Structure 1
Amino acid sequence: MSTVQGLDISACQTSVDFKKVKAAGYSFVILRLNEWDRNKRDIVKDSRFEEYYKAARAAGLMVGAYYFTYANTIDYVKYEAETAIGWLKGKQFEYPIWFDLEREQQFDQGKSFCDAAVNTFCQTLEKAGYYTGVYCSTFWYTKCVSEAVRERYACWIAEWSSKCSYKGSYGMWQNGTAYVDGVSGAVDHDYCYVDYPKIIKEKGLNGFIKPPVTEKILDKGSCYKLGETTVGALAVKELLRLAYAKGLVSIKVGDSKTYDAETVKAVGELQKKWGYKETGGAGVNFVRKLYKALL
């Protein structure tokens, strides 16, 4: 996948024309899912989330979401995750649902807390059918989250610089802010290097339905099958013995004068290796493909 550019947007961006964002060359937006209500002293849905979600989709932009965690206990992380699932329900997201970890009160509790917070939020969403990941800065992610946990989930790394210095694997990089036609004021800018839409849709996550698997059949016509003793069937066995000698197949076909069970298994192994349904029957296409492999 070629690198694509996107923006992360919240109610802080008071005016957004998503059609202009799309026209400016951006492929996706990551929308903030929540904010803190000081009066309620609790999390609430971002006041523009519903509006921006509908507008972004209408403009043809792909969408993800991020949840800014305010949790100082793992019980509250669990509450946040369950709340997030309720807000996400009924929508589709081509990009991951990101757990935004960036408060010093959380980092001050050390790796054990941060690891548990990440695992709790992400695994709760995974069980609900969402593709998740973690947003964090290079410094704090490296310092306060163990490598095992960092490599377990998709990573959206934040480092406002001309070059990302994060040593682990990451799929997105927030490199700073930009002024974009259609957005009021400066907005966070992101690069994405992973084809998340393809992964998410193929797995049937984030509100998408997993497409049915259509098995390819190499030979739909007549095939040599179990029990046959024709010259052609025995010729297939000879080709399979050559394939075994060259390391193309792991099953050694014997010298019997019939298309036996070992032959069926060896043919099936090659069919699977080539990306076809294992039928065990060898037809014209199988013979041609095996012959070319032996050359």
Structure 2
Amino acid sequence: MVKIKGIDVARYQGDIDFKKVKDAGYKFVIAKCTEGSEVGSRIVDPYFKKNIAGAKAAGLAVHAYHFFRGISEADARDEADWLIKNLTGDENYLFCDVEAQSLNNDPDKLTAFVNAFFDQLAKAGKKKLGIYSGKVFFESQLVEAKLRPGLLIWIARYNDTLGRDADIWQHTSSASVPGISGNVDENIAHTDAIVGGVSNPSAFKPADKKQPSGTILKRGARGSAVITLQKKLSSVYFYPDKGVKNHGCDGIYGPKTEDAVRRFQLMHRLIADGVYGQQTAKTLDKVIAAQKKSKPKKSPTHKVVKGDTLWDLAIKNKTTVAKLKQLNKLKSDIIYPGQILKLK
């Protein structure tokens, strides 16, 4: 698994010697840019431009984050505009920091507000987007499956293990880093997208576009392509999580989806590595096709209405009265409104 060290900074860190940071093995910096909206908090971190310029000059990948306080979809769009207005143009990923305790406590509403923020950024041509939150807040106050697809997921949990999938793990707020006075947040990224690479596990092509034959989905992936895989597995009874809503089809390639893939691979004598590669995809499609062919076709039926006769029904359905009587075990030609008749 890719492990890339980085830091996130704000005015609290003061002046930073980013060359020393880079020499200490760090590869990226996420700097606070804004908070709230132009008509609301109007906060711009006073060190933002200096941090971006210094980190870039030192050869570090630079990104920005916005502290979210949106109370409606319209307000969220205003916050996105405030962030855009204060960017330098050198930033790569733009993150939305969603953690304020004052935010709406309805997960569906808050998720809609956050999506409105991202939609506004996307409308302005910003395509590299991500979300930050604490693990408990993220899992209890947001609906992960409804978040905009393709986001980098940045989760804070100050522990020995994160306990979930994420693209970036903020594992401590008290790191001692050369070039910085005092403590700073330290992060571990599990995707080289954060340093300009292409292996962003959250950005697979949408499911409504044909996936290249060599596409690989594995643990850590997110998005509509994962949902498509989960639905395919469920259609042949390899549910990611049968006991929950939608059988675990949530767009997240976590341990349970990995296990469902592995069970399918074992059943069909494939390499059971839990990775959805070309051979597994080909086999799964074959199994689904075979299942569809084996399902017996339902016999067409007709609900009798006033004025219907066996003769009329036979003519319309290119059959005979005798066959209709035999099929429906009728002893006479008399039929009644509401009666259900098999036609073939």
Aligned counterparts of 1:72 and 1:188: Cα–Cα separation in 2: 27
2:110 is equivalent to residue 114 of structure 1: yes
1:247-286: CA deviation from partner (whole Å, max 9, x where unpaired) = 9xxxxxxxxxxxxxxxxxxxxxxxxxxxxxxxxxxxxxxx
Aligned counterparts of 2:117 and 2:148: Cα–Cα separation in 1: 16
2:15 corresponds in structure 1 to: 15
Local SS of the residue matching 2:103: helix
Local SS of the residue matching 1:125: helix
Aligned counterparts of 1:105 and 1:73: Cα–Cα separation in 2: 13
1:40-95: CA deviation from partner (whole Å, max 9, x where unpaired) = 9622221011111111111111111110012223222110101111222x51334x
Q: Decide whether the 8 Å contact of 1:72 with 1:105 is kept in 2.
A: no
Unmatched runs of 5 consecutive residues or more in structure 1: 202-246, 248-295
Aligned counterparts of 2:68 and 2:97: Cα–Cα separation in 1: 6
Q: Decide whether the 8 Å contact of 2:157 with 2:169 is kept in 1.
A: yes
2:6 is equivalent to residue 6 of structure 1: yes
**Segments of 4+ moved more than 4 angstroms:** none
Q: Decide whether the 8 Å contact of 1:56 with 1:62 is kept in 2.
A: yes
Local SS of the residue matching 2:197: helix
2:83 corresponds in structure 1 to: 84
Quick one: structure 1 residues 84 and 59, their matched pair in 2 at CA, closer, same or farther if it must change by over 3 Å? same
Aligned counterparts of 1:25 and 1:147: Cα–Cα separation in 2: 32
Aligned counterparts of 1:100 and 1:74: Cα–Cα separation in 2: 16
Aligned counterparts of 1:184 and 1:137: Cα–Cα separation in 2: 25
Q: Decide whether the 8 Å contact of 2:4 with 2:192 is kept in 1.
A: no
1:180 corresponds in structure 2 to: 177
The number of residues matched between the two structures is 195
Aligned counterparts of 1:51 and 1:136: Cα–Cα separation in 2: 25
Sequence identity, in percent? 30
Structure 2 counterpart of 1:119, one-letter code: N
- Please say which of residues 149-158 and 58-67 is displaced more in the overlay: 149-158
Task: Report the RMSD for the aligned CA atoms in angstroms.
Answer: 2.3
Quick one: structure 1 residues 36 and 124, their matched pair in 2 at CA, closer, same or farther if it must change by over 3 Å? closer
Q: Decide whether the 8 Å contact of 2:52 with 2:90 is kept in 1.
A: no
Q: Decide whether the 8 Å contact of 1:106 with 1:113 is kept in 2.
A: no
2:130 is equivalent to residue 101 of structure 1: no
Aligned counterparts of 2:139 and 2:187: Cα–Cα separation in 1: 20
RCO higher in 1 or 2 (8 Å CA, sep ≥ 6)?
Answer: 1
Local SS of the residue matching 1:99: strand
Q: Decide whether the 8 Å contact of 1:6 with 1:191 is kept in 2.
A: yes
* Aligned 1:137-152 pairs, distance under 5 A: 137-150=134-147, 152=149
Structure 2 counterpart of 1:70, one-letter code: R
Local SS of the residue matching 1:70: coil
Quick one: structure 1 residues 147 and 71, their matched pair in 2 at CA, closer, same or farther if it must change by over 3 Å? closer
2:23 is equivalent to residue 27 of structure 1: no
Taking structure 2 as the reference length, the TM-score comes to: 0.53
Q: Decide whether the 8 Å contact of 2:130 with 2:153 is kept in 1.
A: yes
2:158 corresponds in structure 1 to: 160
Task: Compare CA radii of gyration and give the structure with the larger one.
Answer: 2
Taking structure 1 as the reference length, the TM-score comes to: 0.61
Aligned counterparts of 2:48 and 2:34: Cα–Cα separation in 1: 8
Structure 2 counterpart of 1:113, one-letter code: K
2:124 is equivalent to residue 125 of structure 1: no
2:131 corresponds in structure 1 to: 134
* Aligned 1:211-222 pairs, distance under 5 A: none
2:72 corresponds in structure 1 to: 73
Local SS of the residue matching 2:102: helix
1:260 corresponds in structure 2 to: none
Aligned counterparts of 2:186 and 2:148: Cα–Cα separation in 1: 23
Local SS of the residue matching 2:198: helix
